[in-house]
Amino acid sequence: MKPSRREFLKAGGLALVGFGLVPDRRASVAALLGARRRSAAVLEVIEMHSDAIGSRVWFDPIGLYVEPGATVRWIVRENVHTTTAYHPQNDHHPLRIPESAVAWDSGFLVHPGDHFEVTLTVPGVYDYYCMPHEAVGMVGRIVVGQPSGPGAEPFDYWVGRPGTDSWRHVPEAARQTLPSVARILHERRVHPPGPRR
């Protein structure tokens, strides 16, 4: 006599329990969810802030360490911001992300909760800025895996190199705000100075 489908599945489940592979239904569901969580990409969040009158603006954290393959999501909390990679295709800014990485520009994120994300797969240092607030130091730095590439170089490493005549210098306020690579490697998440929300 041929077993029914239900009996066949029940026997298979009992066999798995017998081998210690599935101790019970709750454990098997937990194991599957755990496997799904481990295989999902890591998501890191960077908030974009402003004080009530817009005189102080910042990314939080301003320095972040992630492993290759992590996704970084920028979320507007107040004011209007962008997240824009330091790259010549972004208004002739100097190259401060790995050479083989894809540059990004979120465009203007206007409403609280608006967000933009990128997945960073190429190891190196990624410097970025907020287009309307770069001059007052709204910048950030992400180290992906190993700290290498143009973002790990001094700010003016490119001066005098062919093809860089149109590149703009990083404003002094931005230079002063960016945390060092060493600090990011040590702390993993560097928050801006002063009061935070």
Give the pLDDT confidence of 57-87 residue by residue, as tens digits: 999 999 999 999 999 999 999 999 999 999 9
Q: Look at 38-42, 136-140, 150-154 and tell me which has the smallest mean pLDDT.
A: 38-42
Whether 171 is in a domain gets the answer yes
At 54 the pLDDT is 83
Q: Does residue 196 have a pLDDT over 90? A: no
Whether 145 is in a domain gets the answer yes
Whether 197 is in a domain gets the answer no
Q: Which of 143, 148, 153 is nearest to 67 (CA)?
A: 143
CB count within 10 Å of CB 32 equals 10
Most confident residue range from 38-47, 48-57, 74-83: 74-83
Whether residues 152 and 101 share a domain: the answer is: yes
Strands 63-66 and 189-190: antiparallel
CB count within 10 Å of CB 143 equals 25
Whether residues 32 and 52 share a domain: the answer is: no
Whether residues 34 and 52 share a domain: the answer is: no
Single pTM value for the model: 0.79
Question: What is the chain's alpha carbon radius of gyration, rounded to the nearest angstrom?
Answer: 23
Whether residues 59 and 145 share a domain: the answer is: yes
Confidence of residue 40 (pLDDT cuts 50, 70, 90): low
Whether residues 148 and 113 share a domain: the answer is: yes
CA distance 136 to 175: 10
Whether residues 48 and 119 share a domain: the answer is: yes
The H or E element containing residue 138 is none
Strands (E), 67-131: 70-76, 84-85, 115-120, 124-129
Give the total number of structural domains in the chain. Answer: 2
Q: Which of 164, 162, 194 is nearest to 177 (CA)?
A: 194
Whether residues 59 and 108 share a domain: the answer is: yes
Whether 195 is in a domain gets the answer no
Owning domain of residue 136: 43-190
CA distance 61 to 19: 47
Whether residues 90 and 164 share a domain: the answer is: yes
At 52 the pLDDT is 85
